[in-house]
Amino acid sequence: MKYLTVNGIKILFSNEKNILEIMKKKCIDIPTLCYHKELSVYGACRLCIVEVEGRGILPACSTLPENAMQIRTNTERIKEIRKIIIELMLANHDRECPTCAKSETCSLQILSRRFGIDEIRFRNVTNKKSKDSSTYSLIVDPSKCVLCGSCVRFCDEIQGIGVLDFMNRGAQSKICPGGNNMNLLSSGCVYCGQCIRVCPTGAIVPKSEVNYVWKALSNPNKKVIVAIAPAVRTAIGEVFGLSDKNGTKIAGKIVSALRYIGFTKIFDISFFADMTIVEEANEFMDRLEKMKNIPMFTSCCPAWVIFVEKYYPDFIPNISSCRSPQGMYGSVVKKIMPKILGVSKENLVVVSIVPCTAKKFEARRHELSKEGIADIDYVLTVHELVRMIEESGLDFRKIDISSFDMPCGFKTGAGIIFGTSGGVTEAVLRNIMNNNGKCDKDVIDANKFTRFDFVRGDEGLRKVKVNLNGKDLNIAIVHGLKNASKILESIKSNDNEKDKYSFVEVMACPGGCVGGAGQPIYKNLNVRNARTKMLYENDRIIKFHNPQDNLYVSKIYKDHFGNPGSKQACEYLHTRYKYAKKFKKVFEIYRPLNDDYVKINICFGNNCIQKGAKDILKHIVKFIENNNYENNIGISISICLEKCSKGPIVTVAEEVIEFCNFELAEKTIIKKLRDKIRG
């Protein structure tokens, strides 16, 4: 066994990759702003420096441990260097701490307190840079950024998107989505908000909607309904120093608090998760029977849905058309509650409390509204719920427990486990297996319900196989969008029998909703695992485990929607998706001076290039020049028109030509020119 000596004490280690990891395991917290276990080592903040005998001062995060190393972590010299580093950061930091959303949880603030910094010896050189609040989900404030690069690495390494990167250099460096006029909205951001979780300061924070909710609550004409997502109850206790084995106690406290704050009805989104499963399982069986749009992708994670819409539009038909539990909550409540509460639809305010920042965007989707009225009015994260509780002056630790309102407060264990990766799959299996036959991997629990816990786990990409009535179904369970890309690419290439999936569950955030960006920030994976465990424990003690056993769901179906998949259900419980273009820019080959011309757009995505887009472009340009059409036709190149399987793609005045060739292009151009002349 190898060992090192830290401050004179022997510490054993085995295969840790750096000194910092060893220290963490032995409960010595070396300060750092840029180190995250799941990300690559970056060494930007230099706060984790330690003195190594014979080698001088080294950063613990990027130093390999060697046998018999002598390390000191708290010498006078190191302490002074750390102090200077923090002071320099603070001198270049927008120190509006009392008004910062990250106040009290900000790592920079905590370190400054820890190192007893009572004076900053350097002149303040902050120049306020403009905030980016273009999206519904997050606010980026470069003036509070310490350039640790955690967000940049997370977006690139775990999500595989790389929306954020550094621009400029030296004192001018800042993080941004690229481009002079570019903001998060016009970038490829999917609003998962994991950058918020890894940001040590308040440079990236969720956009707060607390004030709007207070305003609605204080309006006597309005009735405000609220619902909490399954994962919320697992994490809020961390903020108030409460622990709970299965989350029911904390859920009860949240209900009391919300009632005290003034919400009319308090529901559980787990109820709508049950409903989602009933609808989604029905859709899945239907697709499986017709072998249409298989594999089916889950639709409950809004960041994943946007990801497909922006990056893999080919797969849009594969996403389940069922709304997410939040989407169902909005439409069901706006349909049934006005009558029950005796208010008009306009005066009913629907609020959801979720562990997610992308849900804020989802609530504003045009598809989730009826006659111009949004189904969900406001979306709060757990941070915002904590703020509301604090603002109302409640002592959350001592508050009583009360229960959710009916009918939408009743749930089964299937709805509860929605909050973790693998939960949706497990819930779907519980539904279809118990309805449609036996599975060969049945595990009968002490509680005598059929569990499908082989889908559980922590790995980002899990593959399982179940047998449904003699037919093998391949299922993939994924968290993290880079893993999702892997699955999508393997489905695209379609050459491996193993990659023929029937059902794919994707959650954008590592761990699923329990690890969402709206949750209290966790740095240690154990915290996330504890949250997951809490959900499974809750499922274990609850009376019903199969979504189809939720009597209230059945009742709402009976009263309002008929059967799953019915016309009414389609109207209220399903949604549509659309191709969201990543970039608006196109490369213009040729553009006539007047604006009235026929637009030709040629796809130059990788696929179309391989299929001869280059020759087609050349041919079209020649064709136009030979026939003197220059004044009536404009040509531009699009990077990808996202119909890769049907390439090469050319559009002529909105008409899409699939499998384009020379004759087809010429014929369509002449046709469109004639149409134009005829007016």
Active site positions, annotated? 280, 283, 300, 320, 359, 362, 367, 513
Can residue 78 be called a binding residue for another protein (CB under 8 A)? no
Query: Interface with another protein includes 639 (CB under 8 A)?
Result: yes
Q: Which of 51, 157, 630, 666 binds another protein (CB under 8 A)?
A: 630
Interaction mask 526-565, another protein, x per CB under 8 A: ----------------------------------------
Tell me how far apart the alpha carbons of residues 537 and 529 are, in angstroms, rounded to a whole number: 12
Tell me the window of 98-106, 130-138, 527-535, 602-610 that interacts with another protein (CB under 8 A). 602-610
User: Strand 443-444 vs strand 450-451: parallel, antiparallel, or unpaired?
Assistant: antiparallel
Q: Binding to another protein by residue 309, rule CB under 8 A?
A: no
Which region, judged by CB under 8 A, interacts with another protein, from 192-200, 222-230, 317-325, 610-618? 610-618
Q: Which stretch binds another protein (CB under 8 A): 117-125, 141-149, 207-215, 598-606?
A: 598-606
Asked if 587 interacts with another protein (CB under 8 A), we say: yes
| Residue 606 is a binding residue for another protein (CB under 8 A) | yes
Stated as kind and residue range, the H or E segment containing 285 is helix 269-290
By the rule CB under 8 A, 277 interacts with another protein: no
Q: Is 161 in the site for another protein (CB under 8 A)?
A: yes
| Residue 166 makes contact with another protein by CB under 8 A | yes
Q: How far is the CB of 606 from another protein (least distance, A)?
A: 7
In the chain, the largest separation of any two C-alpha atoms, in whole Å, equals: 91
Point out which span in 332-340, 519-527, 569-577, 636-644 binds another protein (CB under 8 A). Answer: 636-644
Query: How far apart are CB 201 and another protein at their closest, in Å?
Result: 20
For residue 648, whether the previous peptide bond is cis, meaning omega lies within 30 degrees of 0, is: yes
C-beta atoms surrounding 211 within 10 Å: 10
What CA–CA distance (Å, rounded) separates 237 from 249? 10
Among 605, 607, 649, 669, binds another protein (CB under 8 A): 605
Residue 39 within binding range of another protein, rule CB under 8 A: no
Cβ contacts of 461 within 8 Å, gap of 6 or more: 476, 477, 478, 483, 486, 487
Does the protein bind another protein through residue 77 (CB under 8 A)?
A: no
Q: 190, 358 in Cβ contact below 8 A?
A: yes
CB of 625 to another protein, least distance (A): 8
Which DSSP helix (H) or strand (E) runs through 52? Answer: strand 49-52
Q: Looking at 50, 71, 251, 635, which residue binds another protein (CB under 8 A)? A: 635
Side chain identity, residue 325: P
Distance (Å, whole) CA 199 – CA 164: 12
Whose Cβ is closer to another protein: residue 603's or residue 660's?
A: 603
CB within 8 A of 280, min separation 6: which ones?
A: 298, 299, 320, 322, 424, 428
Contact 551, 420 (CB under 8 A): no
The interface region with another protein, picked from 157-165, 369-377, 491-499, 645-653 by CB under 8 A, is 157-165
Spell out, one character per residue from 565 to 584, where the chain touches another protein: x when CB under 8 A holds, - when not.
------------------x-
Chain centroid to CA 431: how far? 26
The residue among 153 and 383 lying less far from another protein, judged by its C-beta, is 153
State in angstroms the smallest separation of the CB of 614 from another protein: 7
- Residue 262 φ then ψ, to 5°: 120, 15
The only residue of 96, 165, 314, 453 in contact with another protein, by rule CB under 8 A: 165
Q: Give the total of residues touching another protein (CB under 8 A).
A: 41
* C-alpha dihedral sign at 615, 618, 624, 627: negative
615 binds another protein per the rule CB under 8 A? no
Measured from the CB atom, the residue of 89 and 633 that comes closer to another protein is 633
Residue where the block lists tokens 């761990």 = 511
- Quote the least distance from Cβ 106 to another protein, whole Å: 25
Please state the closest distance from residue 317 (CB atom) to another protein, in A.
23
Strand partners, 11: 4
In the complex with another protein, the residue whose CB is nearer, 569 or 669, is 669
157 lines the binding site for another protein (CB under 8 A): no
The smaller minimum CB distance to another protein, of residues 224 and 635, is found at 635
Residue 604 touches another protein, criterion: CB under 8 A: yes
Local structure of 468: helix, strand or coil: strand
Q: Which of 120, 341, 461, 637 binds another protein (CB under 8 A)?
A: 637
Cα distances (angstroms) measured from residue 12 to each of 9, 24, 164, 475: 10, 13, 39, 41
Question: Facing residues of 468 across strands?
Answer: 471
Q: What angle do CA 254, 259, 263 make, to 5 degrees?
A: 110
- Which range, of 172-180, 290-298, 398-406, 650-658, touches another protein by CB under 8 A? 172-180
- Can you tell me the distance from the alpha carbon of 188 to that of 662, in angstroms, rounded to the nearest whole number? 34
| Among residues 6, 30, 163, 303, the one that binds another protein under rule CB under 8 A | 163
Q: For residue 592, state whether it binds another protein (rule: CB under 8 A).
A: yes
Q: Smaller CB distance to another protein: residue 410 or 597?
A: 597
Asked if residues 30 and 48 have their Cβ atoms less than 8 Å apart, the reply is yes
Pick from 16, 46, 57, 178 the residue near another protein by CB under 8 A: 178
Q: Which of 91, 107, 51, 46 is nearest to 74 (CA)?
A: 51
| CA 209/CA 193 separation, integer angstroms | 16
Q: Which string of b and e fits 390-402 if b means at least 16 CB within 10 Å?
A: eeeebebeebeeb
Task: Give the integer Cα–Cα distance in Å for 205 and 128.
Answer: 17
The DSSP bridge partners found for residue 139 are 205
Nearer to another protein, 69 or 608 (CB): 608
| Part of the chain binding another protein (CB under 8 A), chosen from 156-164, 320-328, 331-339, 340-348 | 156-164
Count other Cβ atoms within 10 Å, centred on residue 249: 15
Would you state the structure tokens that stand for residue 395, as one six-digit string? 């002592």
Residue 170 or residue 470: which is nearer to another protein going by CB?
Answer: 170
Query: Looking at beta carbons only, is 95 or 582 nearer to another protein?
Result: 582
Measured CA to CA, the distance from residue 368 to residue 374 in angstroms comes to: 6
- At 162, list the tokens: 């790389």
Based on the shown chain and the rule CB under 8 A, indicate whether residue 187 belongs to the binding site for another protein: yes
Gap between the Cα atoms of 254 and 396, Å rounded: 8
CB of 168 to another protein, least distance (A): 5
- Enumerate residues 471-490 that contact another protein by CB under 8 A: none
Site for another protein, rule CB under 8 A: 156, 161-169, 176-180, 182, 187-188, 583, 585-593, 604-606, 614, 617-618, 621, 625, 630, 635, 637, 639-640
